[in-house]
């Protein structure tokens, strides 16, 4: 059996279905978006070839797109902090719990299995102003002025609120991954550190966390990739508003292609998203790859 699974033909047989689906739904879509980006097209009717004009307008004269790039970067950083480092912290705390661990693990994981639409609806009610939501009701106990605090319609914080909601949904997923990695660390390493006089904090800081560094890097890459392409939370909670305060590259692409009926221009935004995602991923892999070699 082991010899059979070691054959390249058998490996290819298992990989090919996933590769085919990925090619049809991702690679082909990117190629078609690249093709449409060279046209002035509303999505219906005749296409007018305009060459690189969409890209020139996008990069040279579109201030909103530049702001969406910055918003997406901020959004991604917040999600990395919440999902990766928050998930690692919760996993560490969970590994220290002796009773009720399964119950806590289940409760933390519940948001992951709830749909994004439901999560956004829940937070819309929690953060509501009219009628007053639970969050504002609790805050008003400390400061009555906070009873009318705007969350999703406040241009100063709407981006951070949407990022927090996505981070909250997926934190449990990465907590489970980190928890599985932490319990896989050999007990001998931690015991040796404790015998040498290390505290439990130092045991995690200098032994267990370095041991699971590849898992941390992989999770960071997953969150980076997902957050740079995030769409539903910004669109469902704020529609990219107020104004363009929480507009992300993906929501801007959607509005250009399907609301403003500028399908060619929206396709050029889509290609820029692909380029930015690939560039960030390659830079991150380069940085972490060099760090691993050192």
Instruction: Look at the chain and report how many structural domains it folds into.
Output: 1
Question: Given a cut of 80, is residue 238 above it in pLDDT?
Answer: yes
Among 10-24, 62-76, 216-230, 270-284, the minimum mean pLDDT is found in 10-24
State how far the alpha carbon of 65 is from the alpha carbons of 51, 69, 265, in Å: 20, 6, 11
Question: Would 103 be classed as within a structural domain?
Answer: yes
Tokens 């969406």, residue?
Answer: 68
Question: Would 62 be classed as within a structural domain?
Answer: no
Domain of 255 in residue numbering reads as 71-288
What pLDDT was estimated at residue 158?
94
Q: What is the pTM of this model?
A: 0.89
Any bridge partners for residue 40, and if so which?
48
CA distance 163 to 71: 10
Asked if residues 251 and 235 have their Cβ atoms less than 8 Å apart, the reply is yes
Question: Would 6 be classed as within a structural domain?
Answer: no
Among 217, 211, 225, 208, smallest CA distance to 276 is for 225
Question: Would 65 be classed as within a structural domain?
Answer: no
CA distance 138 to 149: 11
* CATH code of the domain covering residue 147: 1.10.3720.10
Question: Given a cut of 90, is residue 104 above it in pLDDT?
Answer: no
Residue 294's pLDDT band, with cuts at 50, 70 and 90, is very low
CA distance 254 to 268: 11
Number of helices (H), then strands (E), belonging to the chain: the values are 17, 2
Among 233, 65, 83, smallest CA distance to 161 is for 233
Tokens 């380029």, residue?
Answer: 275
Q: Write out pLDDT tens, residues 56-82.
A: 999 988 899 999 999 999 999 999 999
CA distance 54 to 33: 12
Do the bridges between strand 48-49 and strand 39-40 make them parallel or antiparallel, or are there none, so unpaired? Answer: antiparallel
Question: Would 35 be classed as within a structural domain?
Answer: no
Question: Would 27 be classed as within a structural domain?
Answer: no
Question: Would 53 be classed as within a structural domain?
Answer: no
What pLDDT was estimated at residue 121?
94
Q: Write out pLDDT tens, residues 2-15.
A: 555 557 777 788 88
> Exposure pattern of 129-138 as b/e (b: 16+ CB <10 Å)?
eeeebebbee
CA distance 121 to 143: 26
Question: Would 249 be classed as within a structural domain?
Answer: yes
């Amino acid at each position: 059996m082991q010899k059979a699974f070691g054959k390249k033909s058998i490996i290819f047989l298992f990989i090919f279905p996933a590769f085919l689906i990925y090619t049809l739904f991702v690679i082909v879509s990117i190629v078609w978006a690249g093709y449409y980006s060279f046209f002035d097209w509303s999505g219906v009717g005749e296409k007018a070839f305009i060459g690189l004009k969409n890209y020139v307008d996008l990069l040279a004269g579109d201030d909103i797109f530049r702001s969406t790039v910055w918003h997406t970067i901020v959004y991604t950083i917040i999600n990395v902090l919440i999902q990766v480092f928050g998930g690692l912290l919760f996993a560490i705390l969970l590994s220290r719990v002796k009773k009720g661990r399964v119950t806590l693990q289940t409760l933390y994981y519940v948001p992951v299995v709830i749909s994004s639409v439901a999560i956004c609806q829940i937070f819309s009610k929690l953060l509501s102003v009219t009628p007053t939501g639970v969050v504002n009701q609790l805050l008003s106990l400390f400061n009555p002025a906070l009873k009318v605090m705007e969350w999703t319609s406040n241009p100063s914080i709407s981006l951070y609120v949407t990022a927090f909601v996505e981070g909250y949904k997926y934190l449990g997923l990465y907590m489970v991954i980190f928890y599985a990695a932490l319990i896989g660390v050999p007990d001998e390493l931690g015991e040796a550190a404790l015998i040498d006089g290390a505290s439990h904090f130092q045991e995690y800081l200098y032994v267990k966390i370095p041991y699971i560094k590849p898992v941390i890097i992989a999770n960071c890459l997953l969150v980076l990739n997902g957050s740079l392409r995030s769409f539903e939370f910004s669109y469902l909670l704020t529609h990219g508003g107020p104004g363009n305060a929480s507009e992300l590259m993906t929501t801007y692409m959607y509005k250009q292609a399907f609301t403003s009926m500028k399908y060619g221009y929206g396709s050029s935004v889509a290609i820029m998203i692909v380029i930015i995602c690939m560039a960030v991923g390659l830079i991150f892999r380069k940085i972490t790859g060099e760090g691993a070699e050192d």
